[in-house]
Amino acid sequence: MTWSEKTWAEAQPIYEKITKMPFIAELAAGTLPQEKFLYYIAQDDLYLHDYAKALAIVGARAESVEETTAFVQYAQIALISEREMHEGFFAQTPPPAKAAVQQPACHHYTHFLRATAALEPVGVGMAAVLPCFWVYREVGRHIYNNSVEGNPYQSWIDTYVGEEFEALVDGAIALCDAAAERATEAERVRMTEAFVAATRLEFDFWDAGYRLREW
């Protein structure tokens, strides 16, 4: 088994919990209250700014030109493509005022990513930023397969099931597997720990959106 296969198996119970969350179930059913969705989107917009920084840090520390190029491109996608989608929702309805600053779940997640990207071995940094791609793809598939006709959130759902996003995720997984091949056994363990921790933070991010959690 590759590092990614073993690590996904370890994180699988968290992913299963995510698919059963009220936020995800109601998003698929199109019944999620707009206030909760806009709070989540506004926090995600703030998250993406710091996530792009973490990706850029990983790219700067990468061992090959190919890795550096890939992670810089990932940062650009996070800053431009996904935030453009957010702006489309905000143009229709402004987000709640309390979502204009990072609330606890967003703050915790982004600080974990930036610290890991900057201070841990680069492979560990790659593993930490991977769930934002991989978990989103799997959750996106789950929601897409369970979405109702006329879902008001369909444009968000469609973002994470397209061929372009599929290829991006596969590429990021391959880069992590290559990094794991070069790493020591101790570093591979830390890579898995970082991936699992970030997956837990993905759960917490959606949970915070549903609860409208704030400081």
pLDDT tens for 140-188 read 999 999 999 999 999 888 888 888 889 999 999 999 999 999 999 999 9
- pLDDT computed for residue 79 by the predictor: 78
- Could you give the domains of the chain? 3-92+108-211 (1.20.910.10)
Scan for tokens 């073993």, then name that residue.
6
For the entire predicted model, the pTM comes to: 0.93
130 Cβ partners below 8 Å, 6+ apart?
172, 173, 176, 195, 198
Tell me the C-alpha distance between 141 and 158, whole Å: 9
Beta strands in the chain (DSSP E): none
What 3-state class would DSSP assign to 64? Answer: coil
